[in-house]
Amino acid sequence: MVKGARLEVRGVSHAFALEKRALPVLENIEFTAEPGEFLALLGPSGCGKSTLLRLVAGLEPPTKGRLLVDGEEITGTDPSRTIMFQDPTLFPWRTVRGNAQLGPEARGTLKANAGRVEEALSLVGLAGFAEAYPHQLSGGMAQRAALARALVNEPRVLMLDEPLGKLDSLTRLVMQREIATLWERERFTALLVTHDVEEALLLADRVLVLSDRPARIRADIRVDRPRPRRRDDAGIVALREEILALLGLAEAA
């Protein structure tokens, strides 16, 4: 069953105030993510990908344009829209379970959601580490704990801001598979920011390629390949070359 929400980004532009002048970051961004769809955002460093996630999360309003979830305008944060960052940002004095249950605890719904906490820990493979502390975890396990914390909220839109960027290559491969499996099971709508073209193609239904700042959508590429995907799939290889060319990195193909 699809649990995800329909996300609409309509003519969104955004700018930061910098030394009494406006610094444009996003320019007329427009796309729709259907319920349960997985989108990846690719683009040069500093082009505004993470800023777009912050706007979808409701952490700040756009300078111009509208963002809607199931037809309702986003006006602030909501647990149904959860963001997972590159750093796990776990509280060191709390156990894995204690970190995972932060959302329900803050909303006063922990008792009703106790089962969901245990289910989320099981989903990410940390059921046996519920009483461990962050300093006892590997980098991959810490990211699993952060993912469990996000899943406890049963998000309808899950935003992933380079969550695997600091992991070693082998752990990253494992986590990519686990995220794909969780998405297929939970069917939330996903927005992934990554600099890894292959990661985007292995995980996403569509890849939005952004320009330099202020970011505009240069291409909206559908990844019409069967799952689970392989890096050596001819279709994936061709799309990788296409995207690298769009990013001005054709020689890296």
Answer yes or no: is pLDDT of 198 > 70. Answer: yes
Burial 109-125 (b: 16+ CB within 10 A, else e): ebeebeebbbebbebbe
pLDDT score of 234: 95
Average pLDDT of the residues in 202-215? 95
pLDDT score of 253: 53
pLDDT score of 136: 95
Peptide bond into 214 cis (omega under 30): yes
Q: List pLDDT tens digits, range 24-73.
A: 999 999 999 999 999 999 998 888 999 999 999 999 999 999 999 999 99
Q: List pLDDT tens digits, range 111-156.
A: 777 788 898 898 888 989 999 999 999 988 998 899 899 888 889 9
The answer to whether 99 and 145 have CB atoms below 8 angstroms apart is yes
Domains assigned to the chain:
7-80+155-252 (3.40.50.300)
Cα angle value 6/9/14 (rounded, 5°): 150
Please state, in angstroms and rounded to a whole number, the distance separating the CA atoms of residues 2 and 143: 24
Mapped onto helix, strand or coil, the DSSP state of residue 36 is coil
Average pLDDT of the residues in 206-222? 95
* Count of alpha carbons within 13 angstroms of residue 114, beta-carbon side: 2
pLDDT score of 188: 94
The answer to whether 2 and 189 have CB atoms below 8 angstroms apart is no
The answer to whether 195 and 42 have CB atoms below 8 angstroms apart is yes
pLDDT score of 92: 93
Average pLDDT of the residues in 5-16? 96
